[in-house]
Protein backbone atom coordinates (compact mmCIF):
# COMPACT_ATOMS: atom_id res chain seq x y z
CA UNK A 1 0.00 0.00 0.00
CA UNK A 2 1.30 3.45 -0.72
CA UNK A 3 0.26 6.94 0.16
CA UNK A 4 0.37 10.06 -1.96
CA UNK A 5 2.39 13.12 -1.09
CA UNK A 6 0.66 16.44 -1.60
CA UNK A 7 1.78 18.50 -4.58
CA UNK A 8 1.50 21.61 -2.42
CA UNK A 9 5.19 22.53 -2.69
CA UNK A 10 4.94 22.70 -6.45
CA UNK A 11 1.82 24.87 -6.30
CA UNK A 12 3.53 27.19 -3.83
CA UNK A 13 6.54 27.58 -6.13
CA UNK A 14 4.23 28.40 -9.03
CA UNK A 15 2.35 30.97 -6.99
CA UNK A 16 5.52 32.84 -6.11
CA UNK A 17 6.23 33.40 -9.79
CA UNK A 18 2.66 34.02 -10.79
CA UNK A 19 1.95 36.91 -8.48
CA UNK A 20 -0.22 39.48 -10.22
CA UNK A 21 1.82 42.24 -11.74
CA UNK A 22 4.43 40.00 -13.32
CA UNK A 23 5.08 41.21 -16.83
CA UNK A 24 4.55 37.91 -18.55
CA UNK A 25 2.09 37.93 -21.40
CA UNK A 26 1.05 34.35 -21.74
CA UNK A 27 1.92 30.75 -22.18
CA UNK A 28 3.19 29.37 -25.45
CA UNK A 29 0.80 26.84 -26.93
CA UNK A 30 2.14 24.19 -29.26
CA UNK A 31 0.25 21.91 -31.61
CA UNK A 32 1.94 18.64 -32.63
CA UNK A 33 5.27 20.14 -31.57
CA UNK A 34 4.82 23.39 -33.52
CA UNK A 35 4.41 26.71 -31.77
CA UNK A 36 0.95 28.20 -32.20
CA UNK A 37 1.17 31.40 -30.19
CA UNK A 38 0.91 33.01 -26.80
CA UNK A 39 -2.28 32.53 -24.84
CA UNK A 40 -3.15 35.05 -22.11
CA UNK A 41 -3.08 33.51 -18.65
CA UNK A 42 -4.17 34.61 -15.21
CA UNK A 43 -3.59 33.20 -11.80
CA UNK A 44 -6.59 32.59 -9.61
CA UNK A 45 -6.85 30.68 -6.35
CA UNK A 46 -3.47 29.01 -6.79
CA UNK A 47 -4.26 27.78 -10.27
CA UNK A 48 -3.37 28.97 -13.76
CA UNK A 49 -6.23 29.81 -16.10
CA UNK A 50 -5.91 30.47 -19.82
CA UNK A 51 -8.13 32.43 -22.20
CA UNK A 52 -10.13 29.71 -23.92
CA UNK A 53 -11.44 32.13 -26.56
CA UNK A 54 -7.94 33.21 -27.60
CA UNK A 55 -6.77 29.61 -27.57
CA UNK A 56 -9.68 28.67 -29.84
CA UNK A 57 -8.96 31.52 -32.27
CA UNK A 58 -5.29 30.61 -32.56
CA UNK A 59 -6.24 27.01 -33.27
CA UNK A 60 -8.52 28.09 -36.12
CA UNK A 61 -11.81 27.71 -34.24
CA UNK A 62 -14.67 30.20 -33.99
CA UNK A 63 -15.57 31.35 -30.48
CA UNK A 64 -18.74 33.38 -29.89
CA UNK A 65 -20.93 34.35 -26.98
CA UNK A 66 -24.03 32.20 -26.56
CA UNK A 67 -26.62 32.95 -23.87
CA UNK A 68 -24.47 33.52 -20.79
CA UNK A 69 -21.69 31.26 -22.01
CA UNK A 70 -19.23 30.69 -24.82
CA UNK A 71 -19.65 28.54 -27.91
CA UNK A 72 -16.54 27.38 -29.79
CA UNK A 73 -17.02 25.88 -33.23
CA UNK A 74 -14.72 23.93 -35.49
CA UNK A 75 -16.37 22.46 -38.56
CA UNK A 76 -19.50 20.69 -37.38
CA UNK A 77 -18.11 20.10 -33.86
CA UNK A 78 -18.60 22.51 -31.00
CA UNK A 79 -17.99 22.94 -27.31
CA UNK A 80 -20.18 24.98 -25.02
CA UNK A 81 -18.83 26.66 -21.90
CA UNK A 82 -21.59 27.33 -19.37
CA UNK A 83 -21.37 29.77 -16.45
CA UNK A 84 -20.96 28.25 -13.00
CA UNK A 85 -20.44 24.72 -14.23
CA UNK A 86 -17.26 22.75 -13.82
CA UNK A 87 -17.98 21.00 -17.09
CA UNK A 88 -18.49 21.76 -20.78
CA UNK A 89 -20.61 20.21 -23.48
CA UNK A 90 -18.91 18.56 -26.45
CA UNK A 91 -21.96 17.75 -28.53
CA UNK A 92 -23.89 15.44 -26.23
CA UNK A 93 -20.78 14.47 -24.28
CA UNK A 94 -19.97 16.20 -21.03
CA UNK A 95 -16.36 16.88 -20.16
CA UNK A 96 -15.72 17.63 -16.49
CA UNK A 97 -13.29 20.47 -15.84
CA UNK A 98 -10.75 20.50 -13.06
CA UNK A 99 -12.01 23.96 -12.04
CA UNK A 100 -15.04 26.07 -12.93
CA UNK A 101 -14.55 28.23 -16.01
CA UNK A 102 -15.33 31.90 -15.44
CA UNK A 103 -15.77 35.21 -17.24
CA UNK A 104 -13.47 38.10 -16.29
CA UNK A 105 -12.16 41.13 -18.22
CA UNK A 106 -14.40 40.09 -21.12
CA UNK A 107 -12.64 36.76 -21.56
CA UNK A 108 -13.58 33.20 -20.62
CA UNK A 109 -10.90 31.58 -18.46
CA UNK A 110 -10.41 27.85 -18.14
CA UNK A 111 -7.83 26.03 -16.04
CA UNK A 112 -4.79 25.28 -18.20
CA UNK A 113 -5.00 21.48 -17.99
CA UNK A 114 -8.70 21.26 -18.82
CA UNK A 115 -8.25 23.76 -21.66
CA UNK A 116 -5.73 21.46 -23.37
CA UNK A 117 -8.01 18.47 -22.97
CA UNK A 118 -11.15 20.26 -24.14
CA UNK A 119 -9.53 21.84 -27.21
CA UNK A 120 -7.83 18.57 -28.13
CA UNK A 121 -11.16 16.77 -27.99
CA UNK A 122 -12.84 19.45 -30.09
CA UNK A 123 -10.14 19.30 -32.77
CA UNK A 124 -10.17 15.50 -32.83
CA UNK A 125 -13.95 15.54 -33.20
CA UNK A 126 -13.66 17.94 -36.13
CA UNK A 127 -11.31 15.47 -37.81
CA UNK A 128 -7.86 16.83 -36.92
CA UNK A 129 -5.20 14.74 -35.25
CA UNK A 130 -3.60 16.95 -32.65
CA UNK A 131 -1.52 16.91 -29.55
CA UNK A 132 -1.58 20.19 -27.64
CA UNK A 133 1.01 21.23 -25.07
CA UNK A 134 2.08 24.21 -23.01
CA UNK A 135 5.67 24.82 -24.04
CA UNK A 136 6.67 27.60 -21.74
CA UNK A 137 6.17 31.25 -21.20
CA UNK A 138 5.77 33.44 -24.24
CA UNK A 139 6.94 37.03 -24.61
CA UNK A 140 3.75 38.52 -25.94
CA UNK A 141 4.92 38.80 -29.55
CA UNK A 142 2.71 37.39 -32.29
CA UNK A 143 3.01 33.73 -33.12
CA UNK A 144 5.72 32.91 -35.65
CA UNK A 145 4.47 31.76 -39.00
CA UNK A 146 7.43 29.48 -39.72
CA UNK A 147 7.37 25.87 -38.72
CA UNK A 148 10.49 25.75 -36.56
CA UNK A 149 9.78 25.74 -32.86
CA UNK A 150 10.57 29.05 -31.24
CA UNK A 151 12.97 29.11 -28.32
CA UNK A 152 11.32 29.09 -24.97
CA UNK A 153 11.56 32.51 -23.38
CA UNK A 154 13.91 32.72 -20.44
CA UNK A 155 11.58 33.63 -17.63
CA UNK A 156 11.39 32.05 -14.22
CA UNK A 157 7.94 30.63 -14.79
CA UNK A 158 7.30 27.08 -15.84
CA UNK A 159 3.97 25.82 -17.08
CA UNK A 160 2.08 23.64 -14.71
CA UNK A 161 3.53 20.19 -15.31
CA UNK A 162 1.39 17.38 -16.59
CA UNK A 163 0.23 15.15 -13.74
CA UNK A 164 2.67 12.45 -14.84
CA UNK A 165 5.58 14.73 -13.92
CA UNK A 166 4.62 14.53 -10.28
CA UNK A 167 6.25 12.00 -8.04
CA UNK A 168 3.17 9.99 -7.23
CA UNK A 169 1.98 6.51 -8.00
CA UNK A 170 0.22 6.29 -11.31
CA UNK A 171 -2.20 3.54 -12.13
CA UNK A 172 -3.47 3.26 -15.66
CA UNK A 173 -6.48 1.67 -17.32
CA UNK A 174 -8.37 1.49 -14.04
CA UNK A 175 -11.68 -0.31 -14.36
CA UNK A 176 -14.20 -1.17 -11.66
CA UNK A 177 -16.56 -4.11 -11.33
CA UNK A 178 -18.90 -5.17 -8.56
CA UNK A 179 -19.92 -8.55 -7.23
CA UNK A 180 -22.82 -9.41 -4.99
CA UNK A 181 -22.55 -12.11 -2.34
CA UNK A 182 -24.79 -13.12 0.53
CA UNK A 183 -22.46 -11.76 3.17
CA UNK A 184 -20.59 -9.06 1.27
CA UNK A 185 -20.46 -6.73 -1.70
CA UNK A 186 -17.15 -6.96 -3.52
CA UNK A 187 -15.54 -4.14 -5.46
CA UNK A 188 -12.69 -5.04 -7.79
CA UNK A 189 -10.42 -2.43 -9.36
CA UNK A 190 -8.28 -3.74 -12.19
CA UNK A 191 -5.35 -1.60 -13.33
CA UNK A 192 -1.82 -1.51 -14.63
CA UNK A 193 1.02 0.33 -12.90
CA UNK A 194 0.84 1.21 -9.24
CA UNK A 195 -2.37 2.22 -7.55
CA UNK A 196 -2.37 4.87 -4.85
CA UNK A 197 -4.99 4.03 -2.24
CA UNK A 198 -5.71 3.89 1.45
CA UNK A 199 -8.21 2.17 3.71
CA UNK A 200 -10.76 4.36 5.45
CA UNK A 201 -13.47 3.27 7.92
CA UNK A 202 -16.04 1.25 5.98
CA UNK A 203 -14.22 1.45 2.67
CA UNK A 204 -11.36 2.74 0.59
CA UNK A 205 -10.07 5.89 -1.05
CA UNK A 206 -8.10 5.72 -4.29
CA UNK A 207 -6.26 8.45 -6.16
CA UNK A 208 -5.68 8.49 -9.90
CA UNK A 209 -4.69 10.82 -12.73
CA UNK A 210 -7.88 10.20 -14.65
CA UNK A 211 -11.43 9.98 -13.49
CA UNK A 212 -12.56 6.47 -12.55
CA UNK A 213 -16.24 6.02 -13.32
CA UNK A 214 -18.49 3.69 -11.39
CA UNK A 215 -22.01 3.67 -10.01
CA UNK A 216 -22.79 2.34 -6.56
CA UNK A 217 -24.54 -1.03 -6.80
CA UNK A 218 -26.30 -0.57 -3.47
CA UNK A 219 -27.68 2.41 -1.52
CA UNK A 220 -25.51 1.42 1.46
CA UNK A 221 -22.31 2.11 -0.47
CA UNK A 222 -21.65 5.75 -1.13
CA UNK A 223 -19.38 6.67 -4.03
CA UNK A 224 -17.83 10.11 -4.17
CA UNK A 225 -15.45 11.53 -6.73
CA UNK A 226 -13.61 14.79 -6.29
CA UNK A 227 -10.78 16.33 -8.21
CA UNK A 228 -8.09 18.45 -6.67
CA UNK A 229 -4.75 19.66 -7.90
CA UNK A 230 -4.96 17.63 -11.08
CA UNK A 231 -5.71 14.31 -9.43
CA UNK A 232 -8.96 12.44 -8.94
CA UNK A 233 -9.95 10.91 -5.66
CA UNK A 234 -12.67 8.28 -5.49
CA UNK A 235 -14.03 7.06 -2.21
CA UNK A 236 -16.31 4.05 -1.77
CA UNK A 237 -17.67 3.81 1.75
CA UNK A 238 -20.42 1.80 3.42
CA UNK A 239 -20.73 3.67 6.67
CA UNK A 240 -21.13 1.41 9.67
CA UNK A 241 -19.95 -1.63 7.70
CA UNK A 242 -16.63 -3.43 8.07
CA UNK A 243 -14.47 -3.46 4.97
CA UNK A 244 -11.33 -5.37 3.98
CA UNK A 245 -8.98 -4.68 1.11
CA UNK A 246 -6.24 -6.74 -0.49
CA UNK A 247 -4.17 -6.75 -3.67
CA UNK A 248 -3.92 -9.52 -6.27
CA UNK A 249 -1.61 -10.05 -9.24
CA UNK A 250 -1.95 -10.90 -12.94
CA UNK A 251 -3.83 -8.89 -13.70
CA UNK A 252 -3.16 -6.29 -10.99
CA UNK A 253 -6.26 -5.92 -8.83
CA UNK A 254 -7.35 -4.24 -5.66
CA UNK A 255 -10.23 -6.06 -4.01
CA UNK A 256 -12.45 -4.42 -1.40
CA UNK A 257 -14.99 -6.50 0.49
CA UNK A 258 -17.80 -4.57 2.12
CA UNK A 259 -19.10 -6.97 4.78
CA UNK A 260 -22.85 -6.73 5.26
CA UNK A 261 -23.84 -6.23 8.89
CA UNK A 262 -25.19 -9.64 9.97
CA UNK A 263 -28.69 -8.24 10.59
CA UNK A 264 -28.96 -6.95 7.05
CA UNK A 265 -27.96 -10.17 5.29
CA UNK A 266 -30.91 -10.54 3.01
CA UNK A 267 -30.23 -12.95 0.18
CA UNK A 268 -33.78 -12.60 -1.10
CA UNK A 269 -33.02 -8.97 -1.97
CA UNK A 270 -29.97 -9.11 -4.20
CA UNK A 271 -28.18 -5.91 -5.09
CA UNK A 272 -27.45 -4.83 -8.58
CA UNK A 273 -24.21 -6.27 -9.86
CA UNK A 274 -23.15 -3.89 -12.58
CA UNK A 275 -23.42 -3.83 -15.48
CA UNK A 276 -26.17 -6.48 -15.54
CA UNK A 277 -29.13 -6.13 -13.18
CA UNK A 278 -29.46 -8.87 -10.60
CA UNK A 279 -32.39 -11.26 -10.87
CA UNK A 280 -35.54 -9.99 -9.20
CA UNK A 281 -37.28 -12.83 -7.39
CA UNK A 282 -40.28 -10.77 -6.29
CA UNK A 283 -41.13 -9.91 -9.88
CA UNK A 284 -42.44 -12.28 -12.50
CA UNK A 285 -39.47 -13.60 -14.47
CA UNK A 286 -40.90 -12.40 -17.76
CA UNK A 287 -42.77 -9.15 -18.17
CA UNK A 288 -44.59 -10.61 -21.17
CA UNK A 289 -43.40 -7.71 -23.25
CA UNK A 290 -44.99 -5.08 -21.02
CA UNK A 291 -42.71 -2.11 -20.50
CA UNK A 292 -42.16 -1.06 -16.89
CA UNK A 293 -42.40 2.58 -15.82
CA UNK A 294 -41.03 3.53 -12.42
CA UNK A 295 -42.84 6.56 -11.01
CA UNK A 296 -41.17 8.44 -8.21
CA UNK A 297 -43.19 10.80 -6.02
CA UNK A 298 -40.70 13.48 -5.00
CA UNK A 299 -39.73 14.13 -1.37
CA UNK A 300 -41.77 12.49 1.45
CA UNK A 301 -41.56 11.90 5.19
CA UNK A 302 -39.30 14.43 6.88
CA UNK A 303 -38.78 16.22 3.55
CA UNK A 304 -41.97 18.12 2.59
CA UNK A 305 -40.49 19.59 -0.61
CA UNK A 306 -41.86 23.02 -1.51
CA UNK A 307 -44.48 24.40 0.87
CA UNK A 308 -46.76 27.25 -0.25
CA UNK A 309 -50.37 28.40 -0.22
CA UNK A 310 -51.23 25.82 2.43
CA UNK A 311 -50.05 22.87 0.31
CA UNK A 312 -47.06 20.57 0.60
CA UNK A 313 -45.26 19.25 -2.48
CA UNK A 314 -44.74 15.73 -1.05
CA UNK A 315 -48.50 15.17 -0.61
CA UNK A 316 -49.65 16.39 -4.04
CA UNK A 317 -46.72 14.71 -5.80
CA UNK A 318 -47.76 11.38 -4.28
CA UNK A 319 -51.40 11.85 -5.30
CA UNK A 320 -50.38 12.62 -8.89
CA UNK A 321 -47.84 9.76 -8.95
CA UNK A 322 -50.51 7.26 -7.89
CA UNK A 323 -52.92 8.49 -10.56
CA UNK A 324 -50.16 8.40 -13.15
CA UNK A 325 -49.39 4.77 -12.21
CA UNK A 326 -52.99 3.68 -12.71
CA UNK A 327 -53.26 5.46 -16.07
CA UNK A 328 -50.00 3.85 -17.17
CA UNK A 329 -51.43 0.43 -16.25
CA UNK A 330 -54.70 1.24 -18.01
CA UNK A 331 -52.68 1.76 -21.20
CA UNK A 332 -51.21 -1.75 -20.97
CA UNK A 333 -47.88 -0.99 -19.32
CA UNK A 334 -46.53 -1.93 -15.90
CA UNK A 335 -45.99 0.75 -13.28
CA UNK A 336 -44.21 0.74 -9.93
CA UNK A 337 -43.97 3.50 -7.36
CA UNK A 338 -40.76 4.18 -5.43
CA UNK A 339 -42.97 5.16 -2.49
CA UNK A 340 -46.73 4.75 -2.07
CA UNK A 341 -47.04 6.46 1.29
CA UNK A 342 -45.60 9.47 3.09
CA UNK A 343 -42.09 8.21 3.66
CA UNK A 344 -38.62 9.63 3.19
CA UNK A 345 -36.38 8.14 0.52
CA UNK A 346 -32.86 9.32 -0.19
CA UNK A 347 -32.36 10.72 -3.67
CA UNK A 348 -30.00 7.96 -4.79
CA UNK A 349 -32.33 5.22 -3.52
CA UNK A 350 -34.93 6.27 -6.07
CA UNK A 351 -32.88 5.54 -9.20
CA UNK A 352 -31.27 2.52 -7.54
CA UNK A 353 -34.77 1.02 -7.23
CA UNK A 354 -35.54 1.79 -10.88
CA UNK A 355 -32.27 0.15 -11.93
CA UNK A 356 -32.91 -2.87 -9.74
CA UNK A 357 -36.39 -3.28 -11.18
CA UNK A 358 -34.92 -2.96 -14.67
CA UNK A 359 -37.36 -0.20 -15.58
CA UNK A 360 -37.82 1.05 -19.13
CA UNK A 361 -38.49 4.62 -18.07
CA UNK A 362 -38.24 6.71 -14.91
CA UNK A 363 -40.43 9.70 -14.03
CA UNK A 364 -39.84 11.72 -10.87
CA UNK A 365 -42.95 13.80 -10.02
CA UNK A 366 -42.52 17.25 -8.42
CA UNK A 367 -44.11 20.67 -7.99
CA UNK A 368 -42.24 23.81 -8.91
CA UNK A 369 -41.79 26.91 -6.78
CA UNK A 370 -40.49 30.43 -7.33
CA UNK A 371 -39.33 32.92 -4.72
CA UNK A 372 -41.81 35.56 -3.50
CA UNK A 373 -42.59 38.20 -6.08
CA UNK A 374 -41.91 35.98 -9.08
CA UNK A 375 -44.73 34.33 -11.00
CA UNK A 376 -45.00 31.48 -13.46
CA UNK A 377 -47.43 28.71 -14.33
CA UNK A 378 -47.33 25.51 -16.25
CA UNK A 379 -45.73 22.11 -16.64
CA UNK A 380 -41.98 21.75 -17.12
CA UNK A 381 -40.13 18.58 -18.02
CA UNK A 382 -36.47 18.32 -17.17
CA UNK A 383 -33.69 16.01 -18.18
CA UNK A 384 -30.39 15.83 -16.38
CA UNK A 385 -27.67 17.84 -18.08
CA UNK A 386 -25.96 21.19 -17.84
CA UNK A 387 -28.49 23.86 -16.86
CA UNK A 388 -30.53 25.59 -19.56
CA UNK A 389 -30.50 28.86 -17.62
CA UNK A 390 -30.34 30.40 -14.16
CA UNK A 391 -33.91 29.39 -13.25
CA UNK A 392 -33.22 25.77 -14.18
CA UNK A 393 -30.06 25.80 -12.07
CA UNK A 394 -31.88 27.38 -9.12
CA UNK A 395 -34.56 24.69 -9.35
CA UNK A 396 -31.94 21.92 -9.42
CA UNK A 397 -30.35 23.35 -6.28
CA UNK A 398 -33.72 23.25 -4.50
CA UNK A 399 -34.45 19.69 -5.62
CA UNK A 400 -30.88 18.68 -4.71
CA UNK A 401 -31.24 20.19 -1.22
CA UNK A 402 -30.54 16.82 0.39
CA UNK A 403 -27.00 16.71 -0.95
CA UNK A 404 -26.34 20.44 -1.09
CA UNK A 405 -27.20 20.78 2.59
CA UNK A 406 -24.76 18.06 3.39
CA UNK A 407 -26.99 15.36 4.85
CA UNK A 408 -24.98 12.95 2.71
CA UNK A 409 -22.03 13.49 4.99
CA UNK A 410 -20.53 16.02 2.60
CA UNK A 411 -19.72 19.51 3.78
CA UNK A 412 -21.72 20.88 0.91
CA UNK A 413 -19.08 22.01 -1.52
CA UNK A 414 -21.52 22.76 -4.29
CA UNK A 415 -18.86 22.89 -6.95
CA UNK A 416 -17.64 19.41 -6.19
CA UNK A 417 -21.16 18.11 -6.04
CA UNK A 418 -22.06 19.61 -9.39
CA UNK A 419 -18.84 18.34 -10.87
CA UNK A 420 -19.41 14.83 -9.64
CA UNK A 421 -23.03 14.84 -10.81
CA UNK A 422 -22.02 15.95 -14.27
CA UNK A 423 -19.00 13.68 -14.39
CA UNK A 424 -21.11 10.64 -13.63
CA UNK A 425 -23.20 11.42 -16.66
CA UNK A 426 -20.35 10.59 -18.98
CA UNK A 427 -21.03 6.93 -18.49
CA UNK A 428 -24.71 7.51 -18.94
CA UNK A 429 -25.45 8.01 -22.61
CA UNK A 430 -29.11 8.51 -21.91
CA UNK A 431 -29.25 12.21 -22.67
CA UNK A 432 -30.60 11.81 -26.19
CA UNK A 433 -33.12 9.15 -25.15
CA UNK A 434 -34.23 11.21 -22.16
CA UNK A 435 -34.68 14.23 -24.42
CA UNK A 436 -36.96 12.27 -26.79
CA UNK A 437 -38.85 10.96 -23.77
CA UNK A 438 -39.30 14.50 -22.42
CA UNK A 439 -40.47 15.71 -25.82
CA UNK A 440 -43.04 12.89 -26.06
CA UNK A 441 -44.45 13.93 -22.67
CA UNK A 442 -44.47 17.57 -23.69
CA UNK A 443 -46.43 17.05 -26.90
CA UNK A 444 -48.86 14.69 -25.22
CA UNK A 445 -49.42 17.32 -22.53
CA UNK A 446 -50.12 19.89 -25.21
CA UNK A 447 -52.71 17.72 -26.96
CA UNK A 448 -54.21 16.95 -23.54
CA UNK A 449 -54.86 20.66 -23.00
CA UNK A 450 -52.27 21.12 -20.24
CA UNK A 451 -50.41 24.41 -19.81
CA UNK A 452 -47.06 23.08 -21.08
CA UNK A 453 -44.21 25.48 -20.33
CA UNK A 454 -41.01 23.92 -21.61
CA UNK A 455 -38.57 21.03 -21.84
CA UNK A 456 -35.37 22.08 -20.10
CA UNK A 457 -32.30 20.66 -18.44
CA UNK A 458 -30.47 20.94 -15.14
CA UNK A 459 -28.23 18.72 -13.01
CA UNK A 460 -30.84 16.93 -10.89
CA UNK A 461 -29.25 14.50 -8.49
CA UNK A 462 -32.35 12.28 -8.39
CA UNK A 463 -31.89 11.40 -12.08
CA UNK A 464 -28.21 10.58 -11.64
CA UNK A 465 -27.22 7.04 -12.46
CA UNK A 466 -30.56 6.06 -13.99
CA UNK A 467 -29.89 3.31 -16.50
CA UNK A 468 -32.99 4.18 -18.52
CA UNK A 469 -34.54 7.33 -20.03
CA UNK A 470 -35.34 9.51 -17.03
CA UNK A 471 -37.17 12.81 -16.57
CA UNK A 472 -38.18 15.08 -13.76
CA UNK A 473 -41.78 16.21 -14.20
CA UNK A 474 -42.53 19.59 -12.60
CA UNK A 475 -46.33 19.43 -12.72
CA UNK A 476 -46.91 23.10 -11.93
CA UNK A 477 -46.09 25.93 -9.53
CA UNK A 478 -47.17 25.41 -5.94
CA UNK A 479 -46.05 28.98 -5.30
CA UNK A 480 -48.78 30.27 -7.65
CA UNK A 481 -52.04 30.36 -5.70
CA UNK A 482 -54.43 29.50 -8.54
CA UNK A 483 -52.21 26.73 -9.90
CA UNK A 484 -51.59 25.25 -6.43
CA UNK A 485 -55.35 24.96 -5.95
CA UNK A 486 -55.66 23.34 -9.37
CA UNK A 487 -52.87 20.84 -8.65
CA UNK A 488 -54.62 19.75 -5.45
CA UNK A 489 -57.87 19.21 -7.36
CA UNK A 490 -58.55 15.50 -8.11
CA UNK A 491 -60.05 16.11 -11.54
CA UNK A 492 -57.08 18.23 -12.65
CA UNK A 493 -54.73 15.56 -11.28
CA UNK A 494 -56.61 13.02 -13.42
CA UNK A 495 -56.29 15.18 -16.53
CA UNK A 496 -52.58 15.63 -15.89
CA UNK A 497 -51.94 11.95 -15.17
CA UNK A 498 -53.89 10.84 -18.23
CA UNK A 499 -51.99 13.11 -20.61
CA UNK A 500 -48.60 12.15 -19.15
CA UNK A 501 -49.45 8.43 -19.31
CA UNK A 502 -50.34 8.84 -22.99
CA UNK A 503 -46.97 10.49 -23.55
CA UNK A 504 -45.18 7.62 -21.82
CA UNK A 505 -47.08 5.13 -23.97
CA UNK A 506 -46.24 7.07 -27.13
CA UNK A 507 -42.56 6.94 -26.22
CA UNK A 508 -42.36 3.31 -25.06
CA UNK A 509 -44.66 1.58 -27.51
ZN1 LIG B 1 -39.42 18.65 -5.68
* Phi and psi based region of residue 327 (left: phi greater than 0; alpha: psi -120 to 50; beta: remaining): alpha
Ligand 1 centre and the CA of 489: distance in Å? 19
Ligand 1 centre and the CA of 164: distance in Å? 44
Last residue of a domain, one of 248, 264, 280: 264
Is 282 inside any structural domain? no
pLDDT for the residue 281: 35
Ligand 1 centre and the CA of 468: distance in Å? 20
Ligand 1 centre and the CA of 425: distance in Å? 21
Ligand 1 centre and the CA of 474: distance in Å? 8
Q: What CATH number does residue 464 fall under?
A: 3.40.630.40
pLDDT for the residue 57: 92
Is 311 inside any structural domain? yes
Ligand 1 centre and the CA of 366: distance in Å? 4
Ligand 1 centre and the CA of 171: distance in Å? 41
Ligand 1 centre and the CA of 501: distance in Å? 20
Same domain flag for 306 and 359: yes
Residues pairing with 108 in the sheet: 103
Same domain flag for 297 and 439: yes
Ligand 1 centre and the CA of 391: distance in Å? 14
Q: What CATH number does residue 20 fall under?
A: 3.30.457.10
pLDDT for the residue 278: 35
Same domain flag for 56 and 138: yes
Is 444 inside any structural domain? yes
Q: Tell me the pLDDT tens digit for each residue of 222-260.
A: 888 777 766 778 889 988 888 888 887 777 888 898 888
Is 343 inside any structural domain? yes
Alpha carbon of 436 to those of 271, 290, 312: distances in Å?
A: 30, 20, 30
* Phi and psi based region of residue 476 (left: phi greater than 0; alpha: psi -120 to 50; beta: remaining): left
Same domain flag for 27 and 108: yes
Distance of CA 158 to the CA centre of its chain: 33
Ligand 1 centre and the CA of 336: distance in Å? 19
Q: Are 114 and 160 in contact (CB under 8 A)?
A: no
* CA-based nearest residue to 458, from 374, 394, 367: 394
Same domain flag for 306 and 412: yes
Is 56 inside any structural domain? yes
Ligand 1 centre and the CA of 299: distance in Å? 6
Continuous segment of H or E residues that includes residue 282: none
Ligand 1 centre and the CA of 497: distance in Å? 17
Is 156 inside any structural domain? no
Same domain flag for 302 and 425: yes
Q: What CATH number does residue 221 fall under?
A: 2.60.40.3500
Ligand 1 centre and the CA of 389: distance in Å? 18
Same domain flag for 480 and 394: yes
- CA dihedral sign of residues 5, 6, 8, 13: positive
Same domain flag for 367 and 483: yes
Cis status of the peptide bond prior to 253, with omega within 30 of 0: no
Same domain flag for 446 and 325: yes
Same domain flag for 211 and 106: no
Ligand 1 centre and the CA of 324: distance in Å? 17
CA dist., res. 224 & res. 222, Å (int): 7
Number of domains present in the structure of the chain: 3
Ligand 1 centre and the CA of 387: distance in Å? 16
Ligand 1 centre and the CA of 360: distance in Å? 22
Domain encompassing residue 80: 8-147
481 phi and psi, to 5 degrees? -50, -50
Q: Tell me the pLDDT tens digit for each residue of 345-363.
A: 988 899 899 999 999 999 9
Ligand 1 centre and the CA of 486: distance in Å? 17
* pLDDT by 10s per residue, the chain, length 509: 444 444 444 444 444 344 443 334 678 898 888 888 889 999 887 788 999 999 999 999 999 887 678 889 988 888 888 776 777 877 656 677 778 888 988 899 999 989 999 999 999 988 888 889 887 554 444 433 333 333 333 333 334 333 333 335 677 777 777 777 778 888 888 888 888 888 888 899 988 877 777 677 777 888 887 777 667 788 899 888 888 888 877 778 888 988 888 755 543 333 333 333 333 333 334 455 899 999 999 999 999 999 999 999 999 999 999 999 999 999 999 999 999 999 999 888 998 999 999 999 999 999 999 988 899 999 999 988 766 777 877 788 788 777 655 444 333 345 455 555 555 554 345 777 888 899 999 999 999 999 999 998 877 878 877 889 999 999 999 999 999 999 999 999 999 999 999 999 999 98
Is 277 inside any structural domain? no
Ligand 1 centre and the CA of 394: distance in Å? 12
Same domain flag for 197 and 132: no
pLDDT for the residue 80: 84
Same domain flag for 22 and 92: yes
Ligand 1 centre and the CA of 236: distance in Å? 28
pLDDT for the residue 11: 46
Last residue of a domain, one of 264, 281, 309: 264
Is 22 inside any structural domain? yes
pLDDT for the residue 165: 33
Q: Are 444 and 496 in contact (CB under 8 A)?
A: no
* CA-based nearest residue to 434, from 466, 472, 461, 471: 471
Residues pairing with 271 in the sheet: none
Q: Are 292 and 359 in contact (CB under 8 A)?
A: yes
Last residue of a domain, one of 264, 282, 311: 264
CA dist., res. 235 & res. 257, Å (int): 14
Amino acid sequence: MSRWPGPKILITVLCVFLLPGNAWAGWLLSENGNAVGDIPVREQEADVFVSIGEMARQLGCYPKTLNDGLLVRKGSASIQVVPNAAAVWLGYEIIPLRRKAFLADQRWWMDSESALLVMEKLLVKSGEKVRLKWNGVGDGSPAPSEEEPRPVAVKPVAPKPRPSDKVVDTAENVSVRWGNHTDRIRMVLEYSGKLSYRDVPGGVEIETDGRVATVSPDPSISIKTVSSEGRWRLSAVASGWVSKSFELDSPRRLVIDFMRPSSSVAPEKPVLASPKPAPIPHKKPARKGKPLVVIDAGHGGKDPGAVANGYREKIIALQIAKRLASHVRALGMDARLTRDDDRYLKLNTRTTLANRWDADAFVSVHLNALPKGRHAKGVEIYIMALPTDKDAMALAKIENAEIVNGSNGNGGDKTDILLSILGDMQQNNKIQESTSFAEALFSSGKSGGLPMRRVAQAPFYVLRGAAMPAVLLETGFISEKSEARLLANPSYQEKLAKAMAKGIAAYLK
